[in-house]
Each structure stands twice: as C-alpha cells, then as structure tokens.
Amino acid sequence: MSSRAQASAGDLLELVRSGRATTRGALQQVTGLSRATVGHRLDRLFRAGWLREGASGPVDSPLGGRPSITLEFDDAHAVVLTADLDTRHARAAVLTLTGELLVEHSGALAVDDGPDVVLGELGRWFAELLTKAGHRPSEVCGIGLAVPGPVDTDNGRVVQPPIMPGWDGYDIRTRLARAFAEHTGDTAAAAKVPVLVDNDANLMAYGEQRTGHPDCSAFVLVKVSTGIGAGVVVGGSVFRGIDGGAGDIGHIRVPQGAEALCRCGAYGCLAAVASGGAVARRLAATGVPAASGSDVRDLLAAGHPGAVALAREAGRSVGDVLATVVTLLNPGVLMIAGDLAGTPFLTGVRELLYQRALPRSTAHLDVVTSRLGERAGLVGAGAMVVEYLYAPERVEERLTALGV
C-alpha cells in the first residue's frame, strides 16, 4: 500500500477485500487518513458499485456508541469469463468476482486447429454461457485464458510452445476480444474488456494455492497431462521468471530418456518419457488404444494393469526431477495435478522424491493431489483477472474512467 498520508481509494478497497480493515474506523486507524477523507474515498467506491455495507460490527470506540457498519466487496457488480485450453479439449466458465463458478462448459477443442479457429470457438462458448448465466456482455469485466505453453504475460502471447503449433507469437488478446464481440453482438462492451493470458500450470497453481493453501508461502503444482509443466506461487504471487519460462520442467533432460524424441525436437526431455502423452504412446505400442493423457486417465480409472505400472514408472521419473525442484524452492506444498494425478503416479513420485531429496527439504513438505481438479485453471484465471483489475493503481484509473 502507498504511504499512510496518501492512501487512495484503491488502497482502501484492497484493505477491505483482504479483510485487514472492514469498517470506516479501522480504515482510519490503518491509513492515518481523516474521517472525512476516508468517507470521500469510500463514496467513490460506493458510486462505482464496488463496495456495499454489510452487517453491524463491534463498537469501534472503547467509550461505547453505535455499532460500526462493516464494509464488503460487492462481487455482484460484474462477472469474469475464463477458459482453460488443453491439447484436445477445453473448459470455459462464468465466475463471480470472488471465484464462485456460475456456469461452465467443456468440450472437444484441439489446439492443433490453430489460434484463429480455437479462439473463435471460445468466443461462441462465452456468448452461450453468458446467456445461460443470465448476464449481459456489458457485465463482463475481464477474460482470463489458460494455455498449455509458456506465455509472455506482458503481451499475452505464447513463446515457442512445443505442443501448440501455429500459436507462437500470435495476438491472442485481440482475437479473443474480437470473437467475444462477434458472438455477443456487443462490440462496445467487448472493446472495454481486458483479456489476460497465462500458462495453465501457473493458473492452476494460483487457483489451488488461493483456495486451499492461502497460508503457504511457497507452493508448487506439477501438471502431468499430454505434457509436463509446473506452476510456482511464492509469497502469494505467481513466479514466472523473466519472460514466462519458469516451471517448464517437462524439458529438463533425464538420463532414461536419451533415445526419446520430445515434441520440442530434442531428445531426453522428461515429458518425452513421463508425460501422459508418453505413457499413451507406450501403451499404444503394446496394442492398448491410447492416444493422449486423457485416454491414460480413463485406463487408470478402470484399473488397467499396464497403465497402472507405466504411471508409477512415470511418477518415479518425475519424482527424480522434483527432488531438485524441492531442494531449490523448499515449498510447503507440492501438488500433483493433471491426467496422471492418481495413486500409482503419486506413489512413484514419493518413492524417488524422498529417496533423492535431503530430509531437510522434505521435513515440512506436504505432497498432495489437486483439490479443484479440472476447474483449477478456470479458478486461477478468474483470480488473475480480478487481482489485475482491482489492484490499487488500476482502481484509480478505472474510477477516473467511470467519472467517479
């Protein structure tokens, strides 16, 4: 937050949203602002529809008096659209500003079809979901998209994605905004809606950490599906590296994969030997019908012995790499997610992780599986949009644009 004497309306909103100060008196005490200044800045937030009064709280003064009125972030003034792309299917949803999922849709959608086709279809899904949820395009404050590749979040473009042919450097934001406008017919509303894009593992990690492990200051999620990627949340924020490449552990070279050709064009990548796609290829070579990580997931659910054995073996390979990750980052939670995130794979991870990592690195480590499941990316994308739009400095810009 800015200095006490300069606390803005955006700073006050952040204090209310975080629960650190939820009455006028508490806001005065935390910020050092006068009662009149706090009242003026809160009035702007009320006029924008972003704050509302809640129930009566405790009396602020030890001398007694009327109970204070609590302040609440009004999550009903807008909604967020989110989508999570995988290699062969996608999910989309309408969420409230506090992350409640109102409606969702999932279906086949292949990233190999290219960004123009895929993003155009997402625009159609968004329009249908808004109608189903009973919301207008003008009520959408932002769109969040999770993609299975590294992303430069400054411009929303994927950077040399191994499993997204035709997407490298593509202007995702402009195309998705245009698709939203085309399918809703509201070009004015669409022109005002920001589109944010990030890697799927990053957003899954963000969603899972915020909803299930908010007190964990170092959180790692590993997604094992068609490929392998990791999301890292440190101090409540996604760690992306200098250009969005952090967490790309699927392309760490491993000795057992020396002869395995990865989709990135290199030999020996972890993803080439331990991803859902790699397991599917090994099963297919034995005559088992499997073409992707989702097929392997179905076989594991059915207890297929070959799939179980290969998933455990893949888990050991990933666990070997994660021993280094855990030693480097010392996380409190290591979460396994994606198509292979079941008992056989997790058993393999644990075997090698605890064998190779120093006891000091794992003494306070919880190795768990996803709580949100296939919705983690949607929830994380929604949180990304909300945190962007309601950051203190952006609140000031938006209030000024609204004329309040």
Task: List the chain pLDDT tens, one digit each, 404 residues.
Answer: 544 457 999 999 999 999 999 999 999 999 999 999 999 999 999 999 999 998 765 555 554 555 679 999 999 999 999 999 998 899 999 999 999 999 999 999 999 999 999 999 999 999 999 999 999 999 999 999 999 999 999 999 999 998 899 999 999 999 999 999 999 999 998 888 999 999 999 999 999 999 999 999 999 999 999 899 999 999 999 999 988 889 999 999 998 878 899 988 999 999 999 999 999 999 999 999 999 899 999 999 999 999 999 999 999 999 999 999 999 999 999 999 999 999 999 999 999 999 999 999 999 999 999 999 999 999 999 999 999 999 999 999 999 999 99
CB atoms closer than 10 angstroms to residue 320: 23
Give which of 91, 234, 77 is closest to 140, Cα–Cα.
77
Give the pLDDT score at 256. 84
Give the ranges where 134-199 is alpha helix by DSSP (H): 172-184, 187-191
Q: For the chain, what is the total number of helices (H) and then of strands (E)?
A: 15, 14
Residue 284, number of CB atoms within 10 A of its CB: 13
Instruction: Please state, in angstroms and rounded to a whole number, the distance separating the CA atoms of residues 198 and 146.
Output: 5
Nearest residue to 161 (alpha-carbon basis) of 83, 34, 250? 250
- The answer to whether 88 and 148 are in contact (CB under 8 A) is no
Residue that has been written with the tokens 């599986």 in this structure = 369
Cα–Cα–Cα angle for 182, 185, 187, rounded to 5 degrees: 80
pLDDT for 58 equals 58
Ramachandran class of 144: left when φ > 0, alpha when ψ lies in -120 to 50, beta otherwise = beta
Q: Is the separation of the CB atoms in 87 and 275 below 8 Å? A: no
Six-digit token string for 213: 């492990």
134 — alpha (psi -120 to 50), left (phi > 0) or beta?
left
**Residue 154 contacts by C-beta under 8 Å, 6 or more apart in sequence?**
none
Angle between helices 9-18 and 24-31 (to 10 degrees): 120
pLDDT the model gives residue 89: 93
Angle, helices 293-301 vs 276-285, to 10°: value is: 70
**371 neighbors 336 (Cβ within 8 angstroms):** no
C-alpha–C-alpha distance, residues 217 and 236, integer Å: 6
CA 150 to CA 163: how far, in whole Å? 10
Q: On the CB side of 114, how many CA atoms lie within 13 Å of its CA? A: 3
Region for residue 169 given its phi and psi (left: phi exceeds 0; alpha: psi -120 to 50; beta: otherwise):
left
**pLDDT, position 61:** 53
Give pLDDT, residue 304. Answer: 96
